[in-house]
């Protein structure tokens, strides 16, 4: 830790590579909100924000839709997730290398409905793409499906 701080201070003092040192620690978004209608919020790093098109979505984010809400999210590998009214979706894990199309995706639907159109990770490594519900885990064998979870609000 001290070594990294020393290198960062040296880079900042000399003005060399300072942008790269800061950018290396910034997490990359898993994707972004493409569409949002009605009440839609994202819980990110302990803060709740309204979901508007263009808002980045990160691994660990919880997406919630109200009774009148729906949201469309496109991940960096071109996976498309659409959540309907009264839904809660957690982007549990997302990692993607655009050069090799390798990575992994785990999303959890805690309640509500969502549809999925899989992207490049599923085409390259279908075993690395999974979707969980409170009672089951879905592995990807096709490219498009719909999930409906009935249950108590979380």
Judged against a pLDDT cut of 50, whether residue 48 lies above it is answered with yes
Average pLDDT over residues 65-81: 97
Judged against a pLDDT cut of 60, whether residue 71 lies above it is answered with yes
Lowest mean pLDDT among 12-16, 91-95, 110-114, 133-137: 12-16
Nearest to 93 by CA among 75, 110, 111, 80: 75
Q: How far is CA 49 from the centre of its chain?
A: 15
What was the pLDDT predicted at 1? 42
Residue 42 β-bridge partners: 49, 63
Under a CB-based contact definition with an 8 Å cutoff, are residues 39 and 66 in contact? yes
Predicted TM-score (pTM) of the model is: 0.75
For 75-99, write each residue's pLDDT tens digit. 999 999 999 999 999 999 999 999 9
Write down the mean pLDDT value for the chain: 81
Is residue 111 classed as helix, strand or coil in its secondary structure?
strand
What would the two tokens of residue 105 be? 């995706």
What was the pLDDT predicted at 135? 73
Lowest mean pLDDT among 4-8, 69-73, 124-128: 4-8
How far, in Å, CA of 16 to CA of 29, rounded? 26
């Amino acid at each position: 830790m001290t070594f990294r701080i020393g290198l960062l201070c040296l880079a900042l003092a000399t003005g060399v590579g300072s942008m790269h040192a800061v950018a290396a620690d910034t997490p990359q978004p898993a994707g972004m909100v493409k569409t949002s209608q009605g009440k839609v919020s994202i819980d990110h790093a302990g803060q709740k924000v309204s979901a508007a098109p263009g808002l980045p979505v990160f691994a660990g984010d919880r997406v919630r839709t109200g009774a009148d809400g729906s949201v469309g999210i496109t991940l960096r590998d071109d996976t498309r997730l659409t959540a309907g009214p009264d839904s809660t979706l957690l982007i549990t894990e997302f990692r993607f290398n655009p050069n090799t199309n390798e990575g992994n995706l785990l999303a959890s639907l805690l309640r509500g409905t969502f549809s999925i159109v899989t992207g490049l990770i599923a085409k390259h490594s279908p075993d690395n793409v999974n979707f969980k519900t409170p009672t089951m885990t879905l592995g990807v064998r096709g490219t498009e499906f719909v999930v409906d979870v009935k249950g108590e609000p979380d």
